[in-house]
Amino acid sequence: MNYHDDDELLEVEWEMDECTAFSSVIVFAMNADEEISEEEALEAFITLNGMNLFQDYSDEEMAVIFQDVSELLEEQTVEELFSSVTEVLSPEMRETAFAVATDIILADGVLTPAEKDYLSDIAQKLELPKQTAQTVMDVMVIKNRG
């Protein structure tokens, strides 16, 4: 995100980079029930902090990214957001983002029909093959059972 001072007005310009794109998918997924719980946020922080993509970010910087992404989600349509995400993330990183998003949604070990529909919608917006998305969901259900 860049800030420009034109005529004493502070204008915010969003630049979608790989970290913002990846985080956008995660925050969008966490918002499946229109409320992000502390548990979901904590799970996201722990997961992302363990990834190479985010290894150079402090907890404070991660919090800023999440806040920026939350604002971005309010300012853009879902279609605009995912159009930007798919332009920035490679197909492999889209799969990874979907896997992390699925893992966070399934932290309770149960995949409800509404959650499955929501995840299917995310997979479609990320342009993932249906079989890949289904495999990811199946594996994450198994992972989160215990």
**Residue 107 pLDDT:** 77
Angle, CA 59 vertex, CA 54 and CA 62 arms, to 5°: 55
Q: With a cut of 90, say whether residue 21 has pLDDT above it.
A: yes
In a domain, 3, yes or no: no
Alpha carbon 80 to chain centroid, angstroms: 14
In a domain, 101, yes or no: yes
Residues facing residue 2 across a β-bridge? 13
**Residue 144 pLDDT:** 83
pTM of the complete model: 0.83
Mean pLDDT of 90-94: 96
In a domain, 26, yes or no: yes
**Residue 14 pLDDT:** 57
Tally of structural domains, the chain: 1
Domain that holds residue 38: 17-143
CATH of the domain at 116: 1.10.3680
